[in-house]
Amino acid sequence: MRTYTLYVVVDTLEEKQVNEVQSALSQLGNFHFSPIREQASLISCSEFYATMQCEKRTWEALIPQLNAYWTKDDETWLDYGYNTRMFHPHVYYLEIK
């Protein structure tokens, strides 16, 4: 078992929309969320961390569901929602740490 962490930036400050993004993540796995806060360097964006403990093969199966173009063989997982399809349309930026 290993703990995996996602850094998620959402393109709004509206709590309802951020909660929808977290709900979409919860449908993909057993994530735990940090408190939501305003993203410091982007205008009108929120950020949070999502962590999940699971086996490596479970995580590898989840990766393509987060971002349409990621595979388990990629070396880095970070991308912007304006140039790829994310698991939710309000995700502006997503990074696996």
Q: Which residues pair with 3 in a beta bridge?
A: 53
pLDDT at residue number 68: 82
Q: What is the pLDDT of residue 38?
A: 97
Tokens of 23: 């709900």
Task: Please report, as a single letter, which amino acid is at residue 37.
Answer: R
Output the pLDDT for position 72. Answer: 64
pTM for the structure as a whole: 0.92
Position 71 scores a pLDDT of: 65
2-96 sits in which CATH class? alpha beta
Alpha carbon distance 30, 51 (integer Å): 8
Report the chain (97 residues): mean pLDDT per 10 consecutive residues: 95 96 96 97 97 93 88 76 90 92
Write b or e for each residue in 10-48: b if 16 or more Cβ atoms lie within 10 A of its Cβ, otherwise e: bbeeeeebbebbbebbeeebebebeebeebeeeeebbbb
Contact 10, 45 (CB under 8 A): yes
